[in-house]
Structure 1
Amino acid sequence: MILTLGLAGIIQTLLVGGIAGYYLSQSLYEETEQRALMVARTVAAAPSVIAGINRRDIPALNRTASRLTATNQALFVVIGDKQALRLAHPDPTRLGRSMADDDGDYGRRALEDGESYVARATGSLGESMRAKAPVIDPETGSIIGIVSVGYSLEQVDTTIQRYNLVFYGVIGLMILATVISAIFISNRFKKAIFGLEPEEIARRFREQEATLQSVREGIIAVNRDGVITMANRAACANLGLPEETELAGRPILEILPESTLLSVLATRKPDFDREVWLRGRKMVVNRLPVRQNNEVIGVVTSFRPSDELHQVSQQLTRIQQYADTLRSQTHEYSNKLHTIAGLIQIGATDEALTLIGSEVSDHQSLLKLLLEAVPDPVIAGCLLGKYNRAREMGLNLDIDPDSAMEDIPDNLPREQLVSVLGNLIDNALEATRQHTGENGRVRLSMTDLGDELIFEIEDQGPGVPDAVQQTIFERGVSGKGEDHGIGLYLVQQFLNRWDGSVTIENLPAGGSRFTLYLPKYQEEGESL
């Protein structure tokens, strides 16, 4: 860049300087021509000159010519008669001789055609710019002589050289300034691009572009004016736009009219893992301000459909529930089989049959209730697993036979809902066992009437003190000791995202009631 900028500046300066010098020389020559022509015409029209030629008063004419030469700073003023014979000349030896012996031009155009003209010639006094004008007698109107006025071209060249010295000095300073500016601009530019060479910048740009397009998350960057500066193909796909749509250069509000992305410019704070609604799909969005010299110059957002994570989470949740259910059933049925085997060995076959019938009846009743009240297999599986878990702990999980949970919104994440229910039921079972021992009961009631889903979970624990109710949903707060206090915190996080709520009530007979409220129809959250 130093060489390019410096060389370009030098060439431009030299071109401008050369052209300016050329026109300066031409102007000086033209000025000298016009000056010589004007003096020649003035001398030719002087009455003293006309009278001197008519009288052939050579001494008077020479005095006049000498005076005019000095006055006009000319090289010479020569006066001749109609035959071009010199009547006045700086060199007395040339008086009376023809003007043609000086430069071959005796002034024919002036003497014969009456024309005033300028010519460049080399004479006895050196190279000069000379003008010739006819002397016309005003009384007769005839040409009676000729005047030749010359200016030395050496003098003109000296003037041009003097101007050129100054001019070349200015050109030199301009070239020096150009080189210094090129060095300064190059250093600033190199600092701005972190000392990288153009080839390195091109390579890194291609690498960045390939990396950006390979990311499955949609990525959009905007400047401080809200204009999109960069977007990958995944962004178009997640926004439901054709993959070839060009987003760069378009305002973000044109693509997403309800976008709050520019609010990050005002807050200057990043925003991570926020769930928002975008074109009818729930997205997990991260927004990060871009800083330069401690100034926010733009925002980058990445977003991905939350249903992808939900699908994986749902699969893991179902696997975990299935494993818990199998473990509980294995443990419970192992105990039951041992009991039945013992009854058969001692001959108490009637009691063994009664126990088998009771067990089958209890599970059939529960399965029938779940099939009728909770058609959703994920929630039903969770409740069945918690029922077996309660039996394993020596407790009873009673599900209100009047419960109904059929009208569950499709966009309500099932894996998060069962996580919330599982945490609340587990806490109720644990509190009941610690307070009552075995044979305690936990009651669950569900209803989907109205605009909310309502879950009531009652336990027989010690209750929740009023002071603890204010902090029980905070992270790390638990009555179980260290390394606890996560479950209810996750419950509260889910409720915050879903605009739900939970209330805690201590029962008169002992224990507590947790009531969970979830709206069926959630308003769409903020956009990107």
Structure 2
Amino acid sequence: MTKSLSGSALHKTKLKTRMILTLGLLGAFQTILIGGFAGYYLSNSLYDEIAQRALMVAKTVAAAPATISGIQSRDITGLNQLATHLADTNEALFIVIGDREAIRLAHPVEAKIGLSMADDDGDDGHEALVNGSAYVGRAKGNLGESMRGKAPVRVPDTGEIVGIVSVGYSLAQVDTTIRRYNFVLYGVVGVMLLATIVAAIVISERFKRAIFGLEPEEIARLFREREATLQSVREGIIAVNREGIITTANRAAHETLNLPPDKPLAGTPLLDILPESSLMSVLETGQPDFDREIWLRGRQMVVNRLPVRQGDDIIGVVASFRLSNELDQVSRRLTRIQQYADTLRSQTHEYSNKLHTIAGLIQIGANDEALSLIGSEVSDHQALLHLLLEAVPDPVIAGCLLGKYNRAREMGLNLDIDPDSQMSDIPESLPRNQLVSVLGNLIDNALEATRQHTGEGGRVKLSMTDLGEELIFEVEDQGPGVPEEAQRKIFERGVSSKGEDHGIGLHLVQQFLNRWGGSITVENLNEGGSRFTLYLPKQPEERTSL
């Protein structure tokens, strides 16, 4: 229970506080550890230095001729003067000289002369007097605790051990030196610890600013929300870094691009998925691109591309894409419905007029004229039907042309279909409903332009051919023509000479051509009017760009 409460309290602690505590404690631990090791190493080094100094002085005094001769002659006065002088010279606490039996011959305290050296520290000098070895030791005697170096006194010629020299340095001085060094050391440690805490505060402040002042829990929640939002968006979303590597892709991107849902895109080069993508051009220009209509993997889409900036640098690009918006889809449906309605209305209106005329002729007894009118009507339609059956076996396209023929008759115009036309080799992959929509838009525009310019009696000509590798449709009208500066703009959405709420038909024509790799040309005729020529490849090459 206590552990749970402690974890809960820590969980509620602000990130800044946690970072300061963590970095501060880590810095304190490291600083104290380093400081302790440095203090320990310094103390040992000083003790070792004092020991070696004591041993060196002891060996030097033991090798002095005055020391050797003084021991041999037992010159206590001379040895004490020598010991006092050398102790002062080497800043030693004491120098004690003893004979072969470790009896003091020189000592700072006169009362100790003549007594055994073992009285002070229990060491009778056996290692030096018997084994002939110089050594150091730490002991507490009458003059306080000291570091002592002891060396045997040998006769140079024979090597005989005749005495011992003990040199001591006060450890109180060493401890004072260590305390002085430790004071400086721990002062530095304290400054380092304070600097660590200040650094922890500065780092935590900058880190908090870098994450917009959010807590880790808030970041985790935002990440989950962002992931849920990304996956719930119906638009496909792909983000790439400056190297062109995909960093983010949602579920809709897989579906829109017809990719397996279990195929991860993150970490994959964009050009491996979309070889013809122009998304990387946004990295170079830094200019966003909105609502660009393209054909992507067999589907018409609307793409938005936006650079991702960090300061003044562009670090990536995000692209969102979706199937053509509902307006385009509704526009296509409405266009087809309008065409079907116009066809039915034209046929109904025309035949109604013809029936009324025939009925009137019968009523007034003009039977021959009625029969002639019936025969003419039947003959015209039989000729048109025969032409369409021969030239256009596809019933959908033939039905569209028959409806436009009747529509022209209703408008007081003539739709002349070139008797040499041939349109039988239409690929199965070409959607008939879209082809009918495109062809119907061109004919409707030609009829409207002709009626406005010439009135009744005007003619619109249609010729078709499927020879070669392309399907070619030519539609000629007797309208005012299309100015050269307007010939490219008329395919843009909303551009029309009919005023507002128009400009959709030719835009849909252009979108269809963009998908199937086709083209259209516009030219003005010498005798007046214009000619629209539509080229559709039998083997369409879909254009892909993201």
Cα distance, 1:375 vs structure 2: 4.8
Contact 2:518–2:535 (8 Å) recurs in 1 = no
Cα distance, 1:284 vs structure 2: 5.4
Deviates more, 1:157-166 or 1:335-344: 335-344
For 1:438, give the aligned amino acid. Answer: E
1:394 aligns with 2:412: yes
Cα distance, 1:494 vs structure 2: 5.8
Other-structure match for 1:45: 63
Match of 2:231 among 213, 222, 231: 213
Classify 1:207/1:316 alpha carbon distance in 2 versus 1 (closer, same or farther; 3 Å): farther
Q: Tell me, what secondary structure is at the counterpart of 2:168?
A: strand
Distance 1:304 1:484 in 2: 25
Match of 1:298 among 316, 326, 343: 316
Q: Tell me, what secondary structure is at the counterpart of 2:40?
A: helix
Deviates more, 1:347-356 or 1:204-213: 347-356
Q: Tell me, what secondary structure is at the counterpart of 2:82?
A: helix
Deviates more, 1:428-437 or 1:375-384: 375-384
Distance 1:2 1:466 in 2: 73
Other-structure match for 1:244: 262
Aligned positions of 1:61-460 closer than 5 A = 61-215=79-233, 217-236=235-254, 242-271=260-289, 272-276=291-295, 278=297, 285-303=303-321, 317-336=335-354, 338-339=356-357, 362=380, 365-367=383-385, 369-375=387-393, 379-408=397-426, 417-460=435-478
Other-structure match for 1:504: 523
Contact 1:318–1:378 (8 Å) recurs in 2 = no
Other-structure match for 1:11: 29
Cα distance, 1:200 vs structure 2: 1.4
Distance 1:182 1:382 in 2: 79
Which runs of 5 or more residues in structure 2 are unaligned?
Answer: 1-18
For 1:224, give the aligned amino acid. Answer: R
Distance 1:481 1:524 in 2: 33
Classify 1:355/1:164 alpha carbon distance in 2 versus 1 (closer, same or farther; 3 Å): farther
For 1:127, give the aligned amino acid. Answer: E
Contact 1:289–1:299 (8 Å) recurs in 2 = yes
Contact 1:396–1:439 (8 Å) recurs in 2 = yes
Cα distance, 1:432 vs structure 2: 2.2
Classify 1:520/1:141 alpha carbon distance in 2 versus 1 (closer, same or farther; 3 Å): same
Cα distance, 1:297 vs structure 2: 1.0
Distance 1:65 1:372 in 2: 141
Cα distance, 1:52 vs structure 2: 1.0
Classify 1:352/1:64 alpha carbon distance in 2 versus 1 (closer, same or farther; 3 Å): farther
Distance 1:274 1:469 in 2: 20
For 1:243, give the aligned amino acid. Answer: P
Distance 2:425 2:331 in 1: 22
Q: Tell me, what secondary structure is at the counterpart of 2:105?
A: strand
1:35 aligns with 2:53: yes
Contact 1:276–1:285 (8 Å) recurs in 2 = no
For 1:373, give the aligned amino acid. Answer: A
Q: Tell me, what secondary structure is at the counterpart of 1:515?
A: strand
State the Cα deviation string for residues 205-258 of structure 1 (Å, max 9, x = none): 122223333445543322112222223345455556543333333433445555
Q: Tell me, what secondary structure is at the counterpart of 1:64?
A: helix
Classify 1:210/1:373 alpha carbon distance in 2 versus 1 (closer, same or farther; 3 Å): farther
For 2:524, give the aligned amino acid. Answer: E
State the Cα deviation string for residues 425-464 of structure 1 (Å, max 9, x = none): 2332222222333343322222222343332222233445
For 1:396, give the aligned amino acid. Answer: N
Distance 2:396 2:323 in 1: 21
TM-score by length of 1: 0.86
Cα distance, 1:90 vs structure 2: 1.5
For 1:298, give the aligned amino acid. Answer: G
Distance 1:475 1:252 in 2: 31
Classify 1:166/1:488 alpha carbon distance in 2 versus 1 (closer, same or farther; 3 Å): same
Cα distance, 1:151 vs structure 2: 1.4
Contact 2:450–2:479 (8 Å) recurs in 1 = yes
Q: Tell me, what secondary structure is at the counterpart of 1:140?
A: coil
Q: Tell me, what secondary structure is at the counterpart of 1:139?
A: coil
Classify 1:483/1:246 alpha carbon distance in 2 versus 1 (closer, same or farther; 3 Å): closer
Distance 1:80 1:114 in 2: 14
Q: Name the % identity.
A: 74
Contact 1:503–1:514 (8 Å) recurs in 2 = yes
Classify 1:72/1:352 alpha carbon distance in 2 versus 1 (closer, same or farther; 3 Å): farther
Classify 1:374/1:201 alpha carbon distance in 2 versus 1 (closer, same or farther; 3 Å): farther
Q: Tell me, what secondary structure is at the counterpart of 2:471?
A: strand
Q: Tell me, what secondary structure is at the counterpart of 2:315?
A: strand
Contact 2:28–2:193 (8 Å) recurs in 1 = yes
Cα distance, 1:420 vs structure 2: 4.2
State the Cα deviation string for residues 466-509 of structure 1 (Å, max 9, x = none): 6766876677765445665565566566656745231222342x
Distance 1:255 1:512 in 2: 43
Contact 1:260–1:526 (8 Å) recurs in 2 = no
Distance 1:222 1:229 in 2: 5
Cα distance, 1:286 vs structure 2: 3.9
Contact 2:487–2:522 (8 Å) recurs in 1 = no
State the Cα deviation string for residues 9-59 of structure 1 (Å, max 9, x = none): 222222222222221222221222222122212221221111111111112
The CA RMSD over aligned residues, in Å, is 3.6
Deviates more, 1:365-374 or 1:3-12: 365-374
Which runs of 5 or more residues in structure 1 are unaligned?
Answer: none
State the Cα deviation string for residues 388-437 of structure 1 (Å, max 9, x = none): 43344333323223322344456666666545434432332222222333
Classify 1:138/1:460 alpha carbon distance in 2 versus 1 (closer, same or farther; 3 Å): closer
Q: Tell me, what secondary structure is at the counterpart of 2:139?
A: strand
Contact 2:295–2:514 (8 Å) recurs in 1 = no
Distance 1:396 1:178 in 2: 94
Contact 1:10–1:175 (8 Å) recurs in 2 = yes
Classify 1:454/1:254 alpha carbon distance in 2 versus 1 (closer, same or farther; 3 Å): closer
Deviates more, 1:238-247 or 1:145-154: 238-247
Classify 1:281/1:435 alpha carbon distance in 2 versus 1 (closer, same or farther; 3 Å): closer
